[in-house]
Structure 1
Amino acid sequence: MTNKTALVVSAHSADFVWRCGGAIALHAAKGYDVSVVCLSYGERGESAKLWKQEGMTLEGVKAARRKEAEAAAKALDVREILFFDLGDYPLRADRSARNDLVDVIRRVQPEFMLSHSLEDPYNTDHPYATRVALECRMVAQAWGHNPGEKILGAPQLYLFEPHQTEQCSWKPDTILDITEVWAKKRAAIECMEGQQHLWAYYQNVAENRANHFRRNSGGQAGGREAKYAEGFQSIFPRTVDEL
C-alpha cells in the first residue's frame, strides 16, 4: 500500500516554510509523502541580506537559498524538494516548465495541493505561481495530454496565508492545529538565515491562528486547546459525507 501524497507549489524557495511548514510536517507525521516544488530561488527579490555580503553573485545567492531550503525541507520531513530555477521578480513559467509541473503532478497524484493566495499586490510572483499551479492541475486532468498516462483526479487546492491578508482578498475557511509539529516548523524557519526578519513574524501568525482555532472549535465552551495553527482557503467545493 502506497502512502497518501501532497504537493506544495512555492513561488520562491522559502515560501513553503513560512506559510505551510506546519501542514507539511503534520501530514508527513501522518504518513503522507509530501513533495515541494520551488519555482524559483527568490534570488533577486527575497535575498537582500545575502546581496549585502561583499562580492556576492547571482549563482552564490541561488546556492545559499537552495542550501537553506533543503535544510528546511529535511527539518519538515519533506519526501522530495524540486527546484525549477525559473527566476523571480518577475517569475515566469514557459510551456516547457508548465509541462514539467504537469509531469510532477501526475507522478505525485496528490491528495491535496498547496499554493499562494490569488492576489498579492506586494509580490505578484505569488499569485502567478498559483495560477500556474491551477493551469497545470487542469492539464494534468486532461485525457488528451500525453494519452496513456494516469490522469489526475480532483485534489483540493488550498491557498496558504499571505503576508498581509487584508490586501490579498484571502479569507481562511480551514484552520489546522500544528501544535504537535511546531518545533519542526520553528527549526525549518531558522534554516532561513537570509530572512531572519520574518522568524518572529511567522511565529506570531501561528499563535494568532491558534487563537482562531480555539475560538472556532468551541472556545471556552469546550474548544480544543491549540498553541500554533495555520490557516488556509480552499478553492474548490469539498465533497463530504458529514460536516
Structure 2
Amino acid sequence: MIGNGPPGPETRLMVFGAHAADWCFRAGGTATRYLQAGAQVRVVCATFGERGESAPQWQNPEATVESVKAIRRAESQRAADILGVDIEFLDLDDNPLVIDAQRMQLYVDRIRDFRPDIILTHWNYEPTNRDHQTVSETVVRATSLARVAAVQARESGIGRARIFLFEPDVMAQPILGFAPDTYIDITPVWDRKIEALECYRPTQPGLLERWPERGQLRGVEARAIGGMPSCQYAEAFRRFQPYAGEYFV
C-alpha cells in the first residue's frame, strides 16, 4: 500500500467508468501523469454507452446494439492507446446499468487482482445519469468486499485504497453538489489528452465542447486556491474518505 507522495513503480492506480468515454474525459490526464511517473494504471469500463451516449450512431437506420458497441469499443481503445493505459470493457449494457451479485463479483475480482492504491470513479450522487452513480456505489462496495475476501483467503497486500470521485457532467453540476477538494495538474499531458478525446467526436461531439473548457477552469482554480502557479489545466476530484495522518498534507 502506497502512502501520500509522488507515484512510482509500486503505485497502482485504477479507474472505473460507467461508459466508454467517462474515464478519458474525467480522469484521462491524471491516469497519463501517473503512468508517465512510472505507476501501474488500469481502466475498467462497465459499458460502452451504446444506448444512452451514442445518439449520432443511432441516426443510421442500419445501426444495431452490437454495431454501436463495436464503434464505442474502437473509439475507447484508440484513446487508451494514445494515452498508453491498459483498458478493459465489461460489456454490462447501459441505461439502465444493473448490478447483481454476479456482476458485483466482477468488480471484486478485478480489485483483488490489481490491488490498487488509488481508485478513481464517479461522483456518488448523479440521478441525472444513474449509470454513473451505480458504478460509484458498486466500486465502493466492491473495494470493501475485496478486502474481506482477501482476509478469508489469507491473501496479503490488499489494503484500504484511497478513493477519489471525479466530476459529474458539466451541465448537471449545479444540482449535484459536486465540490472538488483535490486538483491534479495535467498541463504536461494536456495535448495528449485532447488527442485522445478526439477519438470520441463521432459519437459524443458535445463533450468536446464542454470538457476542454472545464479543464481550463479547473486550472484557474488550482492556481488560485491550490498554490500551483504553473498549472494551466487540471482535473478535479473529491476525496471519498477523509484524510488521516500524523501531519497535514
The within-5 A match list for 1:91-240 is 91-143=97-149, 147-150=153-156, 152-163=158-169, 164-192=172-200, 193-218=202-227, 223-240=228-245
Letter matched to residue 70 of structure 2: A
Distance 1:131 1:171 in 2: 18
Cα distance in 2 between the residues matched to 1:108 and 1:122: 31
Residues 219 and 234 in structure 2, CA contact (< 8 A), matched pair in contact too: yes
> Is the partner of 1:141 in helix, strand or coil?
helix
Distance (Å, rounded) in 2 between the aligned partners of 1:102 and 1:89: 22
Residue 6, structure 1, aligned to residue 46, structure 2: no
- How far residue 143 of structure 1 moved from its aligned partner, in angstroms, is 4.7
Does the CA-based 8 Å contact 1:117-1:161 persist in structure 2? yes
- Match runs of 1:36-55 below 5 Å: 36-55=43-62
In the superposition, relative to structure 1, how do residues 2 and 215 fare at CA in structure 2: closer, same or farther (>3 Å)? Answer: closer
SS at match of 2:242: coil
From 13, 23, 34, the equivalent of 1:27 is 34
The change in CA–CA distance for 1:144 and 1:71 in structure 2 (over 3 A counts) is closer
Shift of 1:187: 1.0
How many pairs were matched up?
A: 238
CA contact (8 A) 1:139 1:145 kept: no
How far apart, CA to CA, are the structure 1 residues paired with 2:152 and 2:199?
Answer: 39
* 2:9–2:40 Cα contact (<8 Å) kept: no
The Cα shift of 1:58 comes to 0.6
Structure-2 change in CA distance of 1:230 and 1:2 (3 Å)? closer
Supply the distance in 2 between the matched residues of 1:87 and 1:149 (Cα, whole angstroms).
32
Instruction: Find the aligned partners of 2:209 and 2:42 in 1 and give their Cα distance.
Output: 26
TM-superposed CA distance for 1:151, in Å, is 5.7
TM-score by length of structure 2 reads 0.91
Q: Partner of 2:231: helix, strand, or coil?
A: coil
Q: Deviation at 1:242? A: 3.8
CA distance in 2, matches of 1:160, 1:171: 10
Rounded to whole Å, the distance in 2 between the matches of 1:74 and 1:3 is 22
Match of 2:5 in 1: none
User: CA 1:85 to 1:202, structure 2 compared with 1: closer, same or farther past 3 Å?
Assistant: same
